[in-house]
Amino acid sequence: MRIIAEPAGVKVWIDRKEVGTSPWQGKIGIGKVTEIKAWAEGYREERKINIPAKGEMKEVKLTLKKTHHHKRQNY
């Protein structure tokens, strides 16, 4: 499996275990429901569910969106 996330270099988790940064490539269990998550400071996390098939080289793309923090104003 290959995981590509934008922006590049964000942290990647597979089934709640941090596996590295994007782009990431490796093997995961065949036919198993797999949760893929990417996250970086200042961005909303992105998740996808995937079920890899035997012999398949799956590419999963995740695009993270920036969070919008509004500063609190004191009056």
Alpha-carbon distance 16 to 34, whole Å? 10
| Structural domain that includes position 16 | 2-63
Q: How confident is the model at residue 53 (pLDDT cuts 50, 70, 90)?
A: confident
pLDDT of residue 71: 52
Q: Give how many domains the chain has, as a whole number.
A: 1
Residue 74 belongs to some domain of the structure: no
Angle at 59 between CA 55 and CA 61, to 5 degrees: 160
pLDDT of residue 29: 81
Residue 69 belongs to some domain of the structure: no
Residue 25 belongs to some domain of the structure: yes
Residue 71 belongs to some domain of the structure: no
Residue 35 belongs to some domain of the structure: yes
Tell me the pTM. 0.79
Query: pLDDT tens digits, residue range 30-49?
Result: 888 889 999 999 999 999 99
Residue 42 belongs to some domain of the structure: yes
